[in-house]
Amino acid sequence: MYNWGWFNSLFSGVIFGPRKFLHLSFQFFFSFARNKDISVKQLLQAIDLDSIFQLPLTLHAYDEMLNLQQYLNIIPYNPGLDDQWIFIWGNPSYTSSRYYRMVFQNFQAHGIFKKIWKSKCTPRLKFFAWLIFVDRLNTRNMLARRHFNVQPNTFCVMCTGMEEEDITHLFFYCPFASACWSKLGFHWSAHLDPGDKVLDLISQQQMPFIMDIFIMAAWEIWKLHNAKIFDNGTPSIRLWLKNFKCLVKLQLMRVREDLHTPS
Protein backbone atom coordinates (compact mmCIF):
# COMPACT_ATOMS: atom_id res chain seq x y z
CA MET A 1 0.00 0.00 0.00
CA TYR A 2 1.11 3.54 -0.73
CA ASN A 3 1.26 6.00 2.11
CA TRP A 4 0.19 9.35 0.61
CA GLY A 5 0.21 11.45 3.75
CA TRP A 6 3.52 12.93 2.74
CA PHE A 7 1.91 14.55 -0.33
CA ASN A 8 0.68 17.31 1.97
CA SER A 9 4.28 18.35 2.52
CA LEU A 10 5.12 18.26 -1.15
CA PHE A 11 2.26 20.42 -2.35
CA SER A 12 1.75 22.61 0.69
CA GLY A 13 3.22 25.59 -1.14
CA VAL A 14 5.40 26.35 1.85
CA ILE A 15 8.55 24.86 0.38
CA PHE A 16 8.23 24.93 -3.39
CA GLY A 17 5.79 24.94 -6.29
CA PRO A 18 4.64 21.44 -7.32
CA ARG A 19 5.15 21.46 -11.06
CA LYS A 20 8.63 22.90 -11.17
CA PHE A 21 9.99 20.64 -8.45
CA LEU A 22 8.55 17.38 -9.79
CA HIS A 23 9.31 18.15 -13.40
CA LEU A 24 12.99 18.90 -12.80
CA SER A 25 13.87 16.39 -10.12
CA PHE A 26 11.39 13.52 -10.56
CA GLN A 27 10.67 13.39 -14.25
CA PHE A 28 9.28 9.85 -14.39
CA PHE A 29 6.98 10.40 -11.44
CA PHE A 30 5.83 13.76 -12.78
CA SER A 31 4.94 12.25 -16.16
CA PHE A 32 2.13 10.27 -14.51
CA ALA A 33 0.36 13.36 -13.16
CA ARG A 34 -3.13 13.74 -14.62
CA ASN A 35 -3.19 17.52 -14.13
CA LYS A 36 0.29 18.97 -14.30
CA ASP A 37 -0.98 22.36 -13.10
CA ILE A 38 -2.99 21.07 -10.17
CA SER A 39 -3.51 23.56 -7.38
CA VAL A 40 -2.65 23.00 -3.75
CA LYS A 41 -6.32 23.02 -2.81
CA GLN A 42 -7.24 20.45 -5.47
CA LEU A 43 -4.43 18.16 -4.41
CA LEU A 44 -5.29 18.26 -0.72
CA GLN A 45 -8.94 17.54 -1.50
CA ALA A 46 -8.11 14.54 -3.69
CA ILE A 47 -9.84 11.40 -2.50
CA ASP A 48 -7.33 8.83 -3.72
CA LEU A 49 -4.18 8.36 -5.74
CA ASP A 50 -6.03 7.42 -8.92
CA SER A 51 -7.57 10.90 -9.16
CA ILE A 52 -4.09 12.49 -9.17
CA PHE A 53 -1.91 10.04 -11.09
CA GLN A 54 -2.36 7.62 -13.91
CA LEU A 55 -1.84 4.18 -12.45
CA PRO A 56 -0.03 1.88 -12.38
CA LEU A 57 3.34 3.55 -11.91
CA THR A 58 6.42 2.22 -13.64
CA LEU A 59 9.32 0.97 -11.56
CA HIS A 60 11.27 4.18 -12.28
CA ALA A 61 8.35 6.36 -11.22
CA TYR A 62 7.79 4.25 -8.11
CA ASP A 63 11.46 4.51 -7.14
CA GLU A 64 11.31 8.28 -7.60
CA MET A 65 8.19 8.38 -5.44
CA LEU A 66 10.00 6.54 -2.64
CA ASN A 67 13.04 8.85 -2.92
CA LEU A 68 10.81 11.87 -2.80
CA GLN A 69 8.93 10.54 0.21
CA GLN A 70 12.20 9.99 2.06
CA TYR A 71 13.36 13.48 1.24
CA LEU A 72 10.08 15.09 2.33
CA ASN A 73 10.06 13.36 5.70
CA ILE A 74 12.51 15.97 6.96
CA ILE A 75 10.35 18.91 5.83
CA PRO A 76 8.14 20.35 8.60
CA TYR A 77 4.47 20.64 7.72
CA ASN A 78 1.57 22.08 9.67
CA PRO A 79 -1.83 21.53 8.02
CA GLY A 80 -3.28 24.27 10.20
CA LEU A 81 -1.20 26.98 8.54
CA ASP A 82 -2.22 28.82 5.41
CA ASP A 83 -0.24 28.23 2.23
CA GLN A 84 2.41 30.77 1.44
CA TRP A 85 5.11 31.25 -1.18
CA ILE A 86 8.65 31.99 -0.13
CA PHE A 87 11.77 32.53 -2.17
CA ILE A 88 14.47 29.94 -2.45
CA TRP A 89 16.65 31.80 0.07
CA GLY A 90 13.99 31.14 2.76
CA ASN A 91 12.44 34.61 3.06
CA PRO A 92 9.14 35.93 1.68
CA SER A 93 10.72 39.31 0.93
CA TYR A 94 12.47 39.95 -2.38
CA THR A 95 15.52 42.15 -2.65
CA SER A 96 17.92 42.48 -5.55
CA SER A 97 20.88 41.79 -3.25
CA ARG A 98 19.41 38.45 -2.09
CA TYR A 99 18.68 37.44 -5.65
CA TYR A 100 22.21 38.41 -6.72
CA ARG A 101 23.80 36.40 -3.89
CA MET A 102 21.64 33.38 -4.72
CA VAL A 103 22.42 33.43 -8.45
CA PHE A 104 26.14 34.09 -8.09
CA GLN A 105 26.84 32.19 -4.88
CA ASN A 106 29.02 29.65 -6.72
CA PHE A 107 30.58 32.14 -9.12
CA GLN A 108 34.18 33.04 -8.36
CA ALA A 109 35.03 36.48 -9.76
CA HIS A 110 38.60 37.58 -10.37
CA GLY A 111 40.13 39.13 -7.27
CA ILE A 112 40.84 42.40 -9.07
CA PHE A 113 37.15 43.32 -9.13
CA LYS A 114 36.93 43.26 -5.33
CA LYS A 115 39.88 45.64 -5.27
CA ILE A 116 38.12 47.96 -7.72
CA TRP A 117 34.85 48.23 -5.83
CA LYS A 118 36.61 48.66 -2.48
CA SER A 119 38.80 51.46 -3.75
CA LYS A 120 38.09 55.06 -2.76
CA CYS A 121 37.80 56.25 -6.35
CA THR A 122 34.69 57.86 -7.72
CA PRO A 123 32.12 55.54 -9.37
CA ARG A 124 33.15 56.93 -12.76
CA LEU A 125 36.75 55.82 -12.28
CA LYS A 126 35.69 52.47 -10.86
CA PHE A 127 33.60 51.82 -13.94
CA PHE A 128 36.54 52.83 -16.12
CA ALA A 129 38.76 50.32 -14.30
CA TRP A 130 36.10 47.64 -14.68
CA LEU A 131 36.08 48.26 -18.45
CA ILE A 132 39.84 47.73 -18.50
CA PHE A 133 39.75 44.38 -16.74
CA VAL A 134 36.81 42.98 -18.70
CA ASP A 135 38.46 44.18 -21.94
CA ARG A 136 35.55 46.40 -22.95
CA LEU A 137 37.33 49.73 -23.17
CA ASN A 138 37.15 51.28 -26.65
CA THR A 139 40.75 50.82 -27.69
CA ARG A 140 41.41 50.67 -31.42
CA ASN A 141 41.60 46.90 -31.16
CA MET A 142 38.17 46.78 -29.50
CA LEU A 143 36.65 49.09 -32.12
CA ALA A 144 37.99 46.84 -34.87
CA ARG A 145 36.48 43.80 -33.14
CA ARG A 146 33.17 45.63 -33.12
CA HIS A 147 33.54 46.13 -36.88
CA PHE A 148 34.13 49.87 -36.72
CA ASN A 149 36.09 51.30 -39.60
CA VAL A 150 39.21 52.35 -37.67
CA GLN A 151 41.37 54.73 -39.71
CA PRO A 152 44.10 54.51 -40.73
CA ASN A 153 44.93 51.33 -38.73
CA THR A 154 44.70 49.79 -35.27
CA PHE A 155 48.21 50.77 -34.21
CA CYS A 156 48.76 52.51 -30.87
CA VAL A 157 48.51 56.29 -31.18
CA MET A 158 50.73 56.86 -28.13
CA CYS A 159 53.87 55.37 -29.63
CA THR A 160 55.58 54.75 -32.96
CA GLY A 161 56.22 51.04 -32.49
CA MET A 162 53.44 49.94 -34.88
CA GLU A 163 51.94 47.78 -32.09
CA GLU A 164 48.25 47.02 -32.05
CA GLU A 165 46.46 49.15 -29.51
CA ASP A 166 44.79 46.78 -27.06
CA ILE A 167 44.38 46.96 -23.29
CA THR A 168 47.65 45.21 -22.47
CA HIS A 169 49.75 47.33 -24.80
CA LEU A 170 48.14 50.71 -24.14
CA PHE A 171 48.28 50.53 -20.34
CA PHE A 172 51.26 48.28 -19.65
CA TYR A 173 53.73 47.91 -22.51
CA CYS A 174 53.42 51.10 -24.53
CA PRO A 175 56.64 53.16 -24.08
CA PHE A 176 54.57 56.14 -22.98
CA ALA A 177 52.71 54.09 -20.36
CA SER A 178 55.93 52.43 -19.22
CA ALA A 179 57.50 55.85 -18.67
CA CYS A 180 54.48 56.91 -16.62
CA TRP A 181 54.63 53.80 -14.44
CA SER A 182 58.37 54.29 -13.94
CA LYS A 183 57.61 57.67 -12.37
CA LEU A 184 55.58 55.82 -9.77
CA GLY A 185 58.04 52.98 -9.35
CA PHE A 186 55.61 50.44 -10.83
CA HIS A 187 57.05 47.47 -12.73
CA TRP A 188 54.82 44.83 -14.24
CA SER A 189 55.35 41.08 -14.23
CA ALA A 190 55.47 39.52 -17.67
CA HIS A 191 53.20 36.73 -18.93
CA LEU A 192 50.26 37.72 -16.70
CA ASP A 193 46.89 39.07 -17.72
CA PRO A 194 46.11 42.69 -16.70
CA GLY A 195 44.19 41.74 -13.57
CA ASP A 196 46.93 39.44 -12.30
CA LYS A 197 49.57 42.08 -13.10
CA VAL A 198 47.89 44.58 -10.81
CA LEU A 199 47.27 42.01 -8.05
CA ASP A 200 50.91 40.98 -8.24
CA LEU A 201 51.95 44.62 -7.92
CA ILE A 202 49.69 45.10 -4.90
CA SER A 203 51.18 42.06 -3.18
CA GLN A 204 54.71 43.33 -3.84
CA GLN A 205 54.23 46.95 -2.85
CA GLN A 206 52.37 46.32 0.42
CA MET A 207 51.17 49.92 0.42
CA PRO A 208 47.67 51.33 0.92
CA PHE A 209 45.73 52.73 -2.02
CA ILE A 210 47.84 51.02 -4.71
CA MET A 211 44.61 50.16 -6.54
CA ASP A 212 43.48 53.77 -6.37
CA ILE A 213 46.82 54.96 -7.70
CA PHE A 214 46.70 52.53 -10.59
CA ILE A 215 43.15 53.56 -11.53
CA MET A 216 43.95 57.27 -11.46
CA ALA A 217 47.21 56.86 -13.38
CA ALA A 218 45.51 54.71 -16.04
CA TRP A 219 42.67 57.25 -16.27
CA GLU A 220 45.10 60.07 -17.03
CA ILE A 221 46.82 57.93 -19.69
CA TRP A 222 43.42 57.29 -21.25
CA LYS A 223 42.53 60.99 -21.21
CA LEU A 224 45.76 61.92 -22.99
CA HIS A 225 45.13 59.12 -25.47
CA ASN A 226 41.68 60.52 -26.28
CA ALA A 227 42.95 64.09 -26.38
CA LYS A 228 45.47 63.13 -29.05
CA ILE A 229 42.80 61.43 -31.18
CA PHE A 230 39.96 63.92 -30.83
CA ASP A 231 41.70 67.21 -30.02
CA ASN A 232 45.02 66.71 -31.78
CA GLY A 233 46.72 67.01 -28.40
CA THR A 234 50.36 66.34 -27.65
CA PRO A 235 50.78 63.87 -24.79
CA SER A 236 53.83 64.17 -22.59
CA ILE A 237 55.03 62.59 -19.38
CA ARG A 238 55.15 66.02 -17.76
CA LEU A 239 51.52 66.72 -18.63
CA TRP A 240 50.47 63.25 -17.44
CA LEU A 241 52.26 63.74 -14.12
CA LYS A 242 50.69 67.17 -13.62
CA ASN A 243 47.18 65.84 -14.29
CA PHE A 244 47.82 62.80 -12.12
CA LYS A 245 48.88 64.91 -9.13
CA CYS A 246 45.79 67.09 -9.48
CA LEU A 247 43.56 64.04 -9.53
CA VAL A 248 45.30 62.57 -6.48
CA LYS A 249 44.69 65.79 -4.52
CA LEU A 250 41.00 65.59 -5.35
CA GLN A 251 40.95 61.92 -4.45
CA LEU A 252 42.43 62.59 -1.01
CA MET A 253 39.23 64.40 -0.09
CA ARG A 254 37.36 61.10 -0.46
CA VAL A 255 39.64 59.26 1.95
CA ARG A 256 38.73 59.24 5.61
CA GLU A 257 40.59 61.79 7.68
CA ASP A 258 42.06 59.14 9.97
CA LEU A 259 43.77 57.47 6.99
CA HIS A 260 45.60 60.60 5.88
CA THR A 261 49.35 60.59 6.38
CA PRO A 262 50.39 63.61 8.50
CA SER A 263 52.46 66.05 6.50
pLDDT digits (tens, 9 = 90+) for 174-207: 999 999 999 999 999 988 999 999 999 999 988 8
β-partners of residue 18 are none
**Res 4: pLDDT:** 41
**Res 193: pLDDT:** 94
Measured in residues, the chain has a length of 263
Distances (CA, A) of 64 to 30, 68, 168, 188, 225: 9, 6, 54, 57, 64
**Res 79: pLDDT:** 66
Q: What are phi and psi of 33, to 5 degrees?
A: -65, 135
CA atoms of 75 and 54, how far apart (whole Å): 26
Q: With helix as H, strand as E and coil as C, how does the chain read?
A: CCCCCCHHHHCCCCCCCHHHHHHHHCHHHHCCECCCCCCHHHHHCCCCHHHCECCCCCHHHHHHHHHHHHHHCCCCCCCCCCCCCCCCCCCCCCCHHHHHHHHCCCCCCCHHHHHHHHCCCCHHHHHHHHHHHCCCCCCHHHHHHCCCCCCCCCECCCCCCCCECCHHHHHHHCHHHHHHHHHHCCCCCCCCCHHHHHHHHHHHHCCCCHHHHHHHHHHHHHHHHHHHHHCCCCCCHHHHHHHHHHHHHHHHCCCCHHHCCCC
The answer to whether the CB of 216 falls within 8 A of the CB of 247 is yes
**Which parts of the chain sit beneath pLDDT 70?**
1-23, 38-46, 69, 71-73, 75-79, 81-83, 255-263
CA atoms of 124 and 128, how far apart (whole Å): 6
